[in-house]
Amino acid sequence: DGGITQSPKYLFRKEGQNVTLSCEQNLNHDAMYWYRQDPGQGLRLIYYSQIVNDFQKGDIAEGYSVSREKKESFPLTVTSAQKNPTAFYLCASRSEGSGRNEQFFGPGTRLTVL
Amino acid sequence: QQQVKQSPQSLIVQKGGISIINCAYENTAFDYFPWYQQFPGKGPALLIAIRPDVSEKKEGRFTISFNKSAKQFSLHIMDSQPGDSATYFCAAGDTGKLIFGQGTTLQVKP
């Protein structure tokens, strides 16, 4: 069954702690993305990667870090420097070679800072 | 010049009616305009998408109308059903990146 998986579904964190959100895809897609969703603000791009071992900052990268060591994995770390990390985080992927621009989304991780 | 503005923020439609959501973009380099549907607690799913070389695209009850000169595009849901109740996002972009609108929460009343 091809798709994107995100774990965990719910995550609770104490202030001052770093936390890593997992994103895995078995679609053989080259590009992967992390978005943050807040009520009434749509989806905002945090980081994206179009190839292994390379990634670029999106519009709201401050307080976040990523790695892309494998094609199928793109974990996001929310650091203690992120001022307001409580949000719904969405991972997406896209095939570079197909000529299609469609981004496929995972089910999301809801992060709550206590 | 990177914003995508979406309206209305919320919409209530009777079953069988037409739902219309509008979006406006600024960057004329954008060449891909998708609409995503999102149910509560789930990730968005692509509903329908259009490229600027056509003015309209229809898939079932869903139609995108595209006005390149006005830099606007809209989603029309014909014969709206309670199962269409969800949040809808427009987006615009080119190869690689998308800019999303703020979303429209649609409620279809039975």
Structure tokens at A22: 């997992």
Return the biggest CA–CA distance within chain A: 43
Task: Say if CB B94 and CB B104 are below 8 A apart.
Answer: no
Token pair for A88: 């719904």
For B71-109, the pLDDT digits (tens) are 999 999 999 999 999 999 999 998 678 999 999 999 999
d(CA B17, CA B108): 9
User: Are the CB atoms for B62 and B77 separated by under 8 Å?
Assistant: yes
The predicted pLDDT at position A21 comes to: 97
The predicted-structure confidence for A82-110, as pLDDT tens digits, reads as follows 889 999 999 999 987 656 678 999 999 99
Tell me whether residues B42 and A103 touch, CB distance under 8 A.
no
Q: Please give the interface size between A and B, counted as residue pairs whose CB atoms are below 8 Å apart.
A: 51
Count CA atoms within 13 Å of residue B34 on its CB side: 18
Residue contact B9–A40, C-beta within 8 A: yes
Nearest CA in chain B to A44: B100
Task: Note the residue count of chain A.
Answer: 114
pLDDT at A1 over 70: no
What is the Cα B59 distance to its own chain's centre?
13
Closest-CA residue of A relative to B8 is A40
CA distance A32 to A72: 9
A107 vs B43: CB contact, 8 Å cut-off? yes
The answer on pLDDT for A2 being more than 70 is: no
> Which tens digits make up the pLDDT trace of B15-40?
999 999 999 999 999 999 999 999 99
At A97 the pLDDT is 64
The secondary structure of residue A40, as a DSSP letter, is T
If you ran DSSP here, which 8-state letter would residue B16 be given? T
User: Strands A64-66 and A76-78, how do they pair?
Assistant: antiparallel
Q: Residues B43, A88: contact at Cβ < 8 Å?
A: no
Contacts of B95 in chain A (CB under 8 A): 101
- Arithmetic mean of pLDDT, B47-71: 95
Kindly report whether the peptide bond that precedes residue B82 is cis, defined as omega within 30 degrees of 0.
no
Q: Name the residue facing A43 among B46, B89, B95 (closest C-beta).
A: B89
B1: pLDDT strictly greater than 70:
no
Q: Which of B45, B89, B93 faces A42 most closely, judged by CB atoms?
A: B89
Say yes or no to pLDDT of A37 above 60. yes
Which amino acid type is present at position A69?
A: E
Of B34, B96, B102, the CB nearest to A42: B102
| Contact across the interface for A101 and B93, Cβ inside 8 Å | yes
CA dihedral A87, A70, A66, A55 (to 10 degrees): -110
The b-or-e profile of A93-104 (16+ CB within 10 A means b, else e) is: bbbeeeeebebb
Terminal-to-terminal C-alpha distance of chain B: 40
Query: Of A72, A107, A89, nearest to A11 (Cα)?
Result: A89
Q: In this predicted model, what pLDDT tens digit does every residue of A45-77 receive, in sequence order?
A: 999 999 999 999 999 999 999 999 999 999 999
Res A98: pLDDT:
58
Confidence of residue A39 (pLDDT cuts 50, 70, 90): confident
Query: Do residue A90 and residue B44 have CB atoms under 8 angstroms apart?
Result: yes
Question: Which amino acid is it at B21?
Answer: I
